Structure 1
Amino acid sequence: MENKKTKITVLYVDDEENNLVSFKATFRFKYKVLTAISGSEAIEIVKKNHVDIIVTDQRMPGMTGVQFLEEIIKINPEPMRILLTGYTDMAAVIDAVNKGKIFHYLNKPWSEEELDETINRAYDIYSERKNLLETYSKLEVSNEQLEFLLRQKLLS
């Protein structure tokens, strides 16, 4: 993290205010931390802010973590997604993988070291994916230019 120019932006979503305060206190110096107490509040934050990593609780009133992540994918599929739950609900985990397209699943209460490591691994993949997309885009432009030159050569 020290060699990265900007802080990773992490959105933490949990319906328990104590967990939001604890997460922010633990990671505020290392990451740019955004917090939301509900899925609907978090959706508004994602619409208005750049977010690299989303960490969400599964069991929340109104909208589960998986439902929230499904909505996020429609708005912005780029952020890496991590699901937390205090319950060993395999159906929720399966839904999170299949519908919420999560990067990783962790049990609550979370361990600072494990969550930190997971956020950093997620960010490494996020960064690599962005680099690959940029490279692919540049290759597409080069390919179009080469096709144009080839057509010109064939016509002359």
Structure 2
Amino acid sequence: MQIGILYVDDEVNNLNSFKAAFRRYFNIHTAQSAREGRKILEAEEIGVIITDQRMPGETGIEFLESILPIYPDTIRILLTGFSDINAVMGAINRGQVYKYLVKPWQDDELKMYIQNALELYNLRKENKDLAQKLKIATMELEMLSAREKI
């Protein structure tokens, strides 16, 4: 199954444009609010989250910060129509944002960033799997060594 890309934006036109531009390349999920985004995260494997900064109820940074403990491996991209330096610093520091982009996006540029983010997600996932396998192998070796001493 292809790993999903989640785009969260309160503007339906942006969601439709995003889906139209990228659905041929990626497994796209869209949400009109942080709440909808959380429901998708619970149901799907999402590797990359792209969110608008300025949304009613919860900003993009607040959303990313709130899901960080539950989904630490997802790659986060903040997209906004406003170049606000405080938002940029908050995104990087609190939401651990991989990339900060200004609307309107350029399809080719955003596609490249999504591809890079998916690659990073897959590498993180692979590293976790390898670390787990190493931990199990080490425990098995320790048990064998302990048996030989008996």
Q: TM-score, normalised to structure 2's length?
A: 0.95
Tell me which of 60, 63, 72 is aligned to 1:68: 63
Find runs of 4+ consecutive structure 1 residues off by over 4 angstroms.
none
What is the rounded CA distance, in whole Å, between the counterparts of 2:46 and 2:106 in structure 1? 22
**Equivalent runs, 1:1-156 vs 2, <5 Å:** 6-155=1-150
Q: Cα RMSD over matched residues? A: 1.2
Task: Please state how far the C-alpha of 1:48 moved relative to its aligned partner.
Answer: 1.8
SS for the counterpart of 2:69 is helix
Where does the alignment leave 5 or more consecutive residues of structure 1 unmatched?
Answer: 1-5
Partner deviation per Cα, 1:10-42 (whole Å, 9 max, x = no partner): 111111111001001111111111111111111
Partner deviation per Cα, 1:101-132 (whole Å, 9 max, x = no partner): 11111111111011100001011111111111
Where does the alignment leave 5 or more consecutive residues of structure 2 unmatched?
Answer: none
State the identity %.
Answer: 44
Q: TM-score, normalised to structure 1's length?
A: 0.91
What is the rounded CA distance, in whole Å, between the counterparts of 2:9 and 2:64 in structure 1? 13
What is the number of residues matched between the two proteins? 150
What is the rounded CA distance, in whole Å, between the counterparts of 2:29 and 2:101 in structure 1? 19
Counterpart of 2:131, as a letter, is Y
- With 38-47 and 74-83 compared, the bigger mean Cα shift is at 74-83
Counterpart of 1:112, as a letter, is D
Which residue in the other structure is 1:3 paired with? none
What is the rounded CA distance, in whole Å, between the counterparts of 1:25 and 1:14 in structure 2? 15
